Amino acid sequence: MKPTDLDLIGEVLAERVAPKGFDLKSICFPEQLAFIEDPADWVTGCCSRRSGKTEVCALDLLNTALSNSGAVCLYITTTRLNAERIIWAKLKNLNEKYELGGKINQAKLSISFPHMNSVIYLCGCKDKNALDNFLGLGLKLVYIDEVQSFRKFIGELIDDKLGPTLADYRGKLKLIGTPAALKSGYFWDTLQSKVWSHHHWTFWNNPFISKTSGLTHQQILDRELKRRGVDVNHPSVQREWFGLWVNDTEALVLHWGPGNNYQTLPELTDYVIGVDLGFDDADAISVLGWHKNEKTCYLVDEIVKPQQGITPLVAQIEAAIKRYKPLKVVIDQGGLGKKIAEELRKRYSLPIVAAEKTRKIEFLALLDDALRTNCLKAKGTSQFTQDSFVTEWDFDKTTPDKKVVKADPHSDIIDSVLYAYREALHWLGEPAKPKVNMKNTAERVEFTRKHLEENLQKQIDAQQAQENDELYFAMQELEDSRDVGRYFINRRKG
């Protein structure tokens, strides 16, 4: 059967739109290629900084979309903004450089390949409900990047949300990230599992970084060590430059421990509410409470809601005010926060306080001290507790004179708790005086005796203090008179 003119035209058009593609073997160094070509369904990559792991994600996603008809690929990291910042530009550059034919959709953060009917989506995931829009899709490849920065919900996310979506096409799930500050969490546990196929490579395996920087790997590391004033054995250097898991509690901003956990709340008498506002980030409301006779503060309640409007936010604050009747409501008054604060002042005549944004690092140190000394307690399941395990100092920006908190993962609830804690008055708590049954003669006599003794001792102490003051001033006058006498004697001798 001879081809028709229409068939010939179709072939010509197909040649014009067919992507050129790329050869992974010519682009990747061996460790990257081994990771991409691993046939296992469940794969981990534990890397150092500057190891080329983002390039691996981009190349693997593109290669899968171009090699499988109807493939849906998903890249997940902590927030949509981070997904755009980390990998979006790389995907677009590779698409353009190798003329892959991908159609860019900036609004959806997606690249589609019409000739293969395949697509790559990027998304952020701050909680397990963030992936609901993808539940109807059969996924061929899923990447979770910076997996060490995810909270505990990641296990539920993978088991309940992602697992079933990978069933239709025997899709692959790949977890990739750098070591966290503690040998704990989902990523650490997964790396110990024999079910997963594991890969490890570092900055030292990446040959391209020397080509772009003009420096050897050792020169690059020495430059960083000199800037930070540390040696190669520093835990953060081992983690971020060698990809090794080293417990580094000092890298954490806050140190929540088992002693900070409570199961049930005791009786509390006073409360403050902290509010941190966001949109791309979440709105966060925290309630701290304490008893007037105790010096311990409790995180009583917390609400963290991303991308909500002003109406539900105000409703949440109003409900918290009605329930807890706080001494103060501390609000981040940037943006619309000032208007919300003014409205609440009018409705409730409450002492609404603007959140103090200055000296944040010093007050984070006070908050951390409260955790270390068990003066602040929060449930182990709280968002605040989970965030305390992943919020770290940014050693790339920290100097001997200034500390900086890592921007990712950003914790809204820690900021909210910090605002409230600065206004809490639990430190003024005094033990309650014992109650006395005045009808009981023995108790009444004992109480009266102790009361008289305490008052007598106070009078003695006051009298002693007064006598000490009088003696001090008398001695001072005597010493002054001696100084004057010496002056005149020396003057006569002179």
């900084």: which residue's tokens? Answer: 49
> Which residues have a Cβ under 8 Å from the Cβ of 443 and sit 6 or more positions away?
436, 437
Q: What percent of the chain has pLDDT over 70?
A: 89
> Which residues have a Cβ under 8 Å from the Cβ of 181 and sit 6 or more positions away?
235, 239, 247, 248, 249, 251, 252, 392
- Buried b / exposed e along 225-239 (16+ C-beta atoms within 10 A): eeebeeeeebbbbbb
Q: What is the pLDDT of residues 155-196, one digit of tens each?
A: 888 888 888 889 888 999 999 999 998 888 899 999 999 999
- The pLDDT of residue 245: 94
Among 278, 337, 274, which residue's Cα sits nearest to residue 306?
Answer: 278
Lowest model confidence (mean pLDDT) among 68-72, 214-218, 403-407, 486-490? 486-490
User: Average of pLDDT values for 69-76?
Assistant: 94
Look at residue 274 and give its three-state secondary structure.
strand
Q: Where is 248: in which H helix or E strand?
A: none
3-state DSSP: the chain helix, strand, coil percent, rounded to 5? 45, 15, 35
Q: Which pTM does this prediction carry?
A: 0.71
What average pLDDT does the chain have? 85
Q: What is the pLDDT of residues 230-256, one digit of tens each?
A: 899 999 899 999 999 998 888 899 999
Is residue 19 predicted with pLDDT exceeding 60? no
- The pLDDT of residue 354: 85
Among 255, 250, 263, 248, which residue's Cα sits nearest to residue 367?
Answer: 255
- The pLDDT of residue 484: 59
